[in-house]
Structure 1
Amino acid sequence: MNNIVLPLNQPNNMSSIGRFPNYPFKGTFDGNGLTITNLYIDQPNTEYQGFFGYTLNANLYEVGLVNITASGRNYTGGMVAYAQNTYMRDCYVNGGTLFALSYCGGLVGYQQQGTNSIISGCYNTCTVSGNHYVGGLVGFSNYATVRNSYVAASVAGQGNGVGAIIGGANEVLMYNCYFSSTITGQSNAIGENNFKDGEGLSDEEMRDPAFVVTLNQGLVTPVWKSDYAVPINNGFPILIWQYSDAEACEAPANLTSTVSGNSVILNWTGGENANYFIVEYGKVGEEPQQENTPNATFTIHNVQEGNYFWRVKSVCSFGESNFVNGDNLTVGIASYDNSDLTLYPNPTTGVVNVQFTMNNGQLSDGEIMVFDVYGRRLQVVGISDARGASLQTAEIDLSQYATGIYLVKLVNGGKVVAVRKVVKQ
């Protein structure tokens, strides 16, 4: 089914589907990503106005209404005016205005009881107003369930039962629902009886990628994603089915690797909309390891000699890119300059004497570095320039560190030329 765009500002360009009480819509309406734009229903003296006027024992999936205008006497809802035992999931109303004297909701005017009377994974950004029982998502909910949904729309009413999410409620089960405190202009999620279910958040909090994780909590299959790659909802979360190719999770690019001693530094670009990256690496022919990093760089520490492969992919709130392979690289840790490095006493309880000669080499910008077994640098000692086979000495103090094994590296001009182990007792 193709998206429908109705004539703009043309009143009554579509009639509500289903009439109360004798002609309900029954069965399943699977929009499969359908959007209907510019729906305009102007029936101020008629009840039960919305895309659907009356649904009974029905299922509504994956449909969005954009820029809807609907007004009726009582029972007006963007998606359904009067929903009885109706299951709605992954639906939204985005932009426009709704009005009714009573029972006006951004998604549903009146949600009537039934074992299948559930709203899950839906949102509304359409202005909702009326007198009594006005809600950003539902005007009145009776023995029904509303979950994993949010409202970022102005909600206003003159009488009783005005709430950011639900206007009035009777034994409603509502959980994991949120609303913009600023945009709705309301302080209570449910107007009548001052229910405390539902939480008001700032716009900044609702635009944060962490809010998407919150909205998806408890769902077997996530339905929410962030709206920041190609924004279509002012930065507020959108449904995964609203995904377009333009919003694909951008893959890493320009992968490079640099060997530095027994560490390998990996860098890349791209992945602008990624929450984090997954790096997979290992010796060729062996089981790889995976690590996560929030930045476009990663260092592999304590690398042994051998041939290595590596690859990286982006992880976004709405999916992942494919892995992108870096060039295989050969690490030869043993190919140091012709140097002798001696540590004593070894094992030690504190101070370690370091002796070395460069033999036929030359030491310039020399340093002695101490690392723990996790690759964390703990200490750096600068040493004077040296040439030839003359014996050089220095000291390192391990007394402040825990017992265990440490690595002492001799660095020459930024390159590791020798590594020895020392045991701290």
Structure 2
Amino acid sequence: MQFSDFSSPAFFADPYPLYQKIRDAGPLLPVAPNAFVTGRFSVVDALLRDSRMGKTYLQSVTARYGEQATAQPVFQSLNRTLLMMNPPSHTRLRALLMKTFNARAIEKLTAIVESTSHELLERAGASAEFDLVIDYAHPLPVQIICRLLDIPVAQATVLGTAASQLVAAFDLAPLDANALHAADEAALTLERYFQDMVEQRRAQPGDDLISAMLGVEDEGSRLTDEEVVSNAVLLFIAGHETTSNMIGNAMIALFRHPQQMEALQQDPTQLPRAIAECMRYDGAVQMLVRTAFEDLSVADVTLARGSVVFMLIGAANRDPAIFTQPDTLDITRETSAPSLAFGAGIHHCLGARLARLEMEIAIRSLLARFPRIRPVDLDSLVWHRRNNLRGVTSLPVRTGAH
């Protein structure tokens, strides 16, 4: 198994045959010196919950790019976020950030998602066809985040483009020089922008998440300006890319399974379960990375201290040892184990509740507005050339309303 196996056109179009080979080949497969890949649910779940496994993001950068790359702006920027921290720093920061995602924030988000969905669908529905990704799934999350952070929606395109370029640095396969340069510039653009926002909100606090992060306190601890900037960037890239891709992936899965789509439309109360199943079936987040902080054994394999493990969430979520008929979409699926779409353990996605709510409202609004919506062509989809985040560049649909 090599890094190049994760960057072929066939892999981007459909990674699941390779995932099956990886699961069948063993619990942990070497991909580089002291680096392994796993696609088995039991191994991924165990390692995500093991306190001896943690984040050494710059070590995974070294494995892909060489040690000199760790000083580049994109990797330094990502390394400062909550996503890359370990206890006790992670524990303190997560507790503070969780206080900003309180019931009031959820209530505010609901109104914002509903109004933003309505505006975008009103515009898209003016013609018989529109692009579900470009006109809806892509702008929706970024506009929502702009409103939550109280920054001009007019900035959404520039910041959204920067977020897309930055998040490419999470890929398992190394970026080429041009893409890496673009990711560096994107990191600097986002950090500078949010540094300005932090200074403005310190001077004039408002009713927004940046002001909430600046004002939150837990047992006498507060967030520093640098922590607010880093995690505003994280909120932007995580909420933007993962949610937009997942809305597209969910609709593609439902389009490809018309009986499931019909069942959902006949019983809209199934929507939360349907979204959970779509996230299992073809999730936006395909991979997580952890490092062994000490020697340990998992599935009869010894991991030496310092070993990096690339965990294939997409493969684990289709593991037949856990999910019956895993390659089948079933919105009524009953399972004893939830999927790993939001991770597990101490790094379980902080924004999971927000993401679920956003996807539920987005898809409910779409299907209510266009109950006869149909794809133009599912055979010509162009998938992003990324192995950590899965999604399509475009999804033309007919509304059936004209």
Which range, TM-score by smaller chain?
under 0.3
Normalization by structure 2: what TM-score?
A: 0.19
Q: Based on CA coordinates, which of the two structures has the bigger radius of gyration?
A: 1
Larger helix share, 1 or 2: 2
Larger strand share, 1 or 2: 1
Normalization by structure 1: what TM-score?
A: 0.18
